[in-house]
């Protein structure tokens, strides 16, 4: 047994179970023995093997990321930031995202690089929503993070022959087989001896899965008390496709087939019936979401880059919909994502009061934990996991520190996060990740992107080369 004592922290964000809220504490002590918190209050007098001086620091609960694609998104840096298809609802899904296909070694390295970014931004639990890859469990276990593996599968793939129409190629048997393989991964994650891996069911997208596959996914999730997560209401194209198929909105169809329940997570739930780009004549999607207890995985950054907003996160919260945050894209900087979530909600609702940083912090911690069906993470309370970070409140970018969360999210970002612990084990020390060879991962990521870009013309319907598809920000001088 090893006991660590963070002594006399200037600030602490402690969980008040009775009030179901985070609260600031001043001059408090935090103690953990092995993987569990044993003291979160003033005046610890017991023994400790390691003492950390809390003066000039804030102790913050580990952040919970419920949606990310770490094995693919890092490759899109320098390419996709300003890429979307105006003729396909501004989305990048159908014309561009399929064009960069890195090899297996590069995907592994990208995932580790993404995890290093997540850890440095205070994320202690994340959801890895990816196609299965070699070494997946071992890589994540060795990284030190707490990970929910979401091996994705589907019955169809989408493609476009012309950049303005999306078509689907179906193979239902392949979908069922991939789901069986995914179940094996989910089951082996829970049994992994690291104790930090678990899993969810991940039927990839509402428009690429049969009703049968979705219902089998929900049943398998319920049998394991695991979440199930699907991309839905994520694009105009998908909304139109689902209404053409069923005469119902995506959320309405999911509710009617029995897929919406309190273990379901909907990523991204943007294009609901009342979204201003949709103009569907009937309303009720958000009420359906609230009644079902399903959660939303909210990832504002990637959509905002394409001019797309979830319109009023605050309204979702007021209706009682549980919301967690995710980094659907790079950078895997969760504090940055929290800033986007806070600001964009105010912009889309045209009101400074539409939401607050407190609401967003709730989503980034206990909202995400609830979506993942866990009550032992995302909060600092006795008995919970020792997943936490230390923020350097003396960092110049935070000054003056009247309200440390505001200083961190609106001004300092992840720069001030110096130390991160997962399961009581330190994984970031003095701002550096101790569990991942980040330089090696960057080398492999860079090699993998360069190689993948050689293949864009064969993957693209118009046979464009990379520099045509992804133009540089400024012209190149010869």
> Rule CB under 5 A: which residues touch Zn ion?
328
User: DSSP readout, 151-192?
Assistant: EEE-SEEEEESSSS-EEEEE-HHHHHHHHHHHHHHHHHHHH-
Measure the CA–CA gap between 442 and 225, rounded to whole angstroms: 37
Instruction: Give the whole-angstrom CA distance, residue 432 versus residue 116.
Output: 9
State the minimum distance, in angstroms, from the CB of residue 213 to Zn ion. Answer: 18
Q: Shortest approach of Zn ion to residue 129 CB, angstroms?
A: 6
Reading the block at residue 279, the tokens are 């103009």
For residue 59, the minimal CB distance to Zn ion (Å) is 31
Toward Zn ion, which CB reaches closer, 285 or 328? 328
CB of 266 to Zn ion, least distance (A): 11
Q: How far is the CB of 150 from Zn ion (least distance, A)?
A: 10
Which C-beta is closer to Zn ion: that of 214 or that of 405?
214
Rounded Cα gap, residues 132 and 199, in angstroms = 12
Element (H, E) at 313: helix 313-318
Pairing of strands 156-160, 146-153: unpaired
State in angstroms the smallest separation of the CB of 395 from Zn ion: 32
- State the nearest-atom distance from the C-beta of 467 to Zn ion, in Å: 27
Of 178, 160, 176, whose CA–CA distance to 168 is shortest? 160
What's the start-to-end Cα distance of the chain, in Å?
Answer: 64
Distance between CA atoms of 190 and 199, rounded to whole angstroms?
Answer: 7
* Residue whose beta carbon is closest to Zn ion: 328
Looking at the Cβ atoms of 328 and 387, the one nearer to Zn ion is: 328
Residue 434 CB partners (closer than 8 Å, separation 6+): 144, 426, 427, 428
245 Cβ contact list (under 8 Å, min separation 6): none
């Amino acid at each position: 047994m090893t006991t660590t004592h963070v002594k006399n922290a200037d600030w602490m964000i402690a969980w008040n179970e009775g009030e179901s809220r985070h609260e600031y504490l001043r001059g408090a002590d935090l103690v953990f023995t092995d993987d569990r918190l044993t003291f979160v209050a003033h005046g610890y007098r017991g023994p400790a093997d390691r003492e950390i001086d809390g003066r000039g620091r804030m102790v913050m609960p580990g952040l919970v990321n419920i949606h990310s694609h770490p094995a693919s998104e890092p490759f899109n840096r320098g390419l996709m930031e300003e890429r979307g298809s105006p003729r396909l609802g501004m989305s990048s899904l159908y014309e561009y995202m399929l064009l960069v296909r890195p090899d297996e070694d590069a995907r592994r390295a990208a995932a580790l690089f993404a995890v290093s970014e997540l850890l440095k931004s205070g994320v202690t639990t994340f959801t890895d929503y990816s196609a299965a890859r070699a070494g997946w469990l071992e890589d994540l276990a060795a990284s030190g993070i707490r990970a929910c593996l979401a091996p994705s599968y589907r019955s169809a793939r989408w493609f476009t022959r012309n950049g303005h129409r999306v078509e689907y190629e179906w193979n239902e048997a392949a979908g069922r087989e991939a789901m069986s393989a995914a179940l094996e991964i989910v089951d082996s994650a829970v049994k992994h001896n690291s104790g930090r891996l678990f899993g969810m069911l991940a039927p990839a997208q509402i428009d690429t899965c049969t009703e049968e596959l979705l219902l089998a996914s929900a049943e398998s999730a319920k049998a394991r008390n695991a979440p199930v997560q699907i991309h839905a209401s994520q694009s105009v194209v998908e909304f139109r496709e689902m209404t053409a198929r069923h005469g119902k909105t995506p959320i309405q169809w999911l509710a009617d087939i029995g897929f919406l329940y309190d273990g379901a997570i909907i990523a991204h739930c943007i294009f609901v019936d009342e979204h201003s780009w949709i103009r569907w004549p009937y309303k009720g999607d958000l009420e359906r979401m609230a009644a079902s207890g399903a959660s939303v995985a909210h990832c504002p950054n990637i959509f905002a880059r394409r001019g797309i907003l979830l319109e009023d996160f605050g309204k979702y919260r007021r209706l009682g919909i549980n919301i967690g945050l995710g980094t659907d894209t790079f950078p895997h900087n969760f504090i940055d994502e929290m800033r986007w979530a806070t600001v964009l909600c105010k912009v889309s609702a045209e009101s400074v009061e539409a939401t607050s940083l407190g609401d967003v912090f709730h989503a980034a911690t206990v909202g995400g934990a609830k979506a993942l069906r866990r009550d032992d993470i995302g909060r600092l309370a006795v008995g919970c996991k020792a997943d936490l970070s230390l923020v350097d409140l003396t960092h110049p970018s935070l000054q003056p520190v009247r309200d440390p969360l505001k200083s961190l999210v609106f001004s300092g970002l992840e720069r001030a996060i110096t130390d991160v612990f997962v399961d009581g084990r330190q994984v970031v020390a003095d701002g550096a990740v101790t569990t991942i060879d980040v330089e090696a991962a960057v080398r492999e990521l860079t090699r993998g992107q360069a190689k993948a870009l050689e293949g864009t013309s064969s993957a693209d319907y118009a046979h464009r080369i990379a520099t045509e598809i992804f133009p540089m920000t400024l012209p190149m001088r010869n």
